[in-house]
C-alpha cells in the first residue's frame, strides 16, 4: 500500500481534490470529517471538551463559534484542545488504514500535515495549490470570514511556496476543474502502474513526481 499525505493551505481546493481521488476509487481518510464526527451530536469527545471549555457544547455537539472564541489566539488553550482531539483522530485513522490495508493507494487528508510534523508518517506528500489571489478570493467568500481572521489563519500555516518545495506531487487547482481532474487521474494511474518510482513517461501529464531528499 502507498500511503499518500494530502495537504494544502486554506482555500487551495484540497477538499475538491480529495473528492476527485475518491471518484478514482482511492480511499481517503478525512481528518477534519473525523473531528466533526467526534465533536458532533453524541460525539464521544463532547464531555471532555465541555469540561475543559464550559459552554462550548450543546445538543447539536460542539458550538464551533463558542469553542473558536475560547481557543483562538491562545496557544495554551489550543494545545489543551488538541490533547483532547488528536488521540481520538489518530485512533480513527489507524482503524481506517487497517480496513483498507489491501488497497494499492490510500490517502491521509491532513490540512496541517507539514505544520504538525506528520509528513514522516506517509510515503509521499501531495500538495494542493492555487495562486494567492485565487486563494484569497475563495476564502474571503466564506461566511464569517474577514481579512483579520484570514491573516491569522495564514500565520499558522506554512507558506504555500514552502509546501510546494517539500511536496512529492503538486496538484494545481488554479485552472479549469477538468484540468485539475485530469491531473488527479494521471497521478493515480501513474502510481498504480509504477509505484513511487520516478515516471518520465507521465511527468508531463500529471503533477511532476519528485523524490524527497
> Hey, how many other C-beta atoms are within 10 angstroms of the C-beta on 75?
8
Over residues 90-131, the pLDDT tens digits come to 999 999 999 999 999 999 999 899 998 889 999 999 999 999
- Which residue(s) pair with 107 in the sheet? 4, 28
Q: Taking residues 147-153, what's their average pLDDT?
A: 91
CATH numeric code, 1-27+104-213: 3.40.50.300
Domain(s) of CATH 3.40.50.300: residues in the chain: 1-27+104-213
The predicted pLDDT at position 73 comes to 79
The predicted pLDDT at position 194 comes to 80
Q: How confident is residue 199, by pLDDT bands cut at 50, 70 and 90?
A: low
Closest-CA residue to 65 (of 80, 47, 83, 53): 53
Per DSSP bridges, beta strands 57-58 and 61-62 are: antiparallel
The predicted pLDDT at position 205 comes to 46
The predicted pLDDT at position 84 comes to 94
Percent of the chain with pLDDT over 90: 68
Look up residue 141 and give its three cell numbers. Answer: 467568500
> Does residue 31 carry a pLDDT above 90?
no
DSSP state of 82: H
Over residues 170-183, the pLDDT tens digits come to 999 998 999 999 99
The predicted pLDDT at position 116 comes to 86
Closest-CA residue to 13 (of 180, 190, 191, 207): 180
The predicted pLDDT at position 202 comes to 56
Q: How confident is residue 8, by pLDDT bands cut at 50, 70 and 90?
A: very high
Amino acid at each position: 500500500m502507498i500511503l499518500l499525505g494530502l495537504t494544502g493551505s486554506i482555500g487551495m481546493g484540497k477538499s475538491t481534490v480529495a473528492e476527485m481521488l475518491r471518484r478514482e476509487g482511492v480511499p481517503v481518510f478525512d481528518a477534519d470529517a473525523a473531528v466533526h464526527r467526534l465533536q458532533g451530536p453524541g460525539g464521544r469527545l463532547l464531555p471532555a471538551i465541555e469540561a475543559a471549555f464550559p459552554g462550548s457544547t450543546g445538543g447539536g455537539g460542539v458550538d464551533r463559534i463558542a469553542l473558536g472564541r475560547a481557543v483562538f489566539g491562545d496557544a495554551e488553550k489550543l494545545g489543551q484542545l488538541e490533547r483532547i482531539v488528536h488521540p481520538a483522530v489518530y485512533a480513527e485513522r489507524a482503524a481506517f488504514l487497517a480496513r483498507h490495508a489491501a488497497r494499492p493507494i490510500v490517502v491521509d487528508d491532513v490540512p496541517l500535515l507539514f505544520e504538525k510534523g506528520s509528513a514522516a508518517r506517509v510515503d509521499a506528500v501531495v500538495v494542493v495549490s492555487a495562486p494567492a489571489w485565487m486563494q484569497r478570493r475563495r476564502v474571503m467568500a466564506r461566511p464569517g470570514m474577514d481579512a483579520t481572521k484570514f491573516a491569522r489563519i495564514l500565520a499558522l500555516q506554512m507558506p504555500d511556496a514552502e509546501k510546494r518545495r517539500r511536496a512529492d506531487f503538486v496538484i494545481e487547482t488554479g485552472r479549469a476543474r477538468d484540468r485539475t481532474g485530469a491531473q488527479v487521474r494521471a497521478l493515480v494511474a501513474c502510481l498504480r502502474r509504477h509505484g513511487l518510482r520516478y515516471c518520465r513517461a507521465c511527468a508531463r501529464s500529471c503533477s511532476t513526481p519528485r523524490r524527497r531528499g
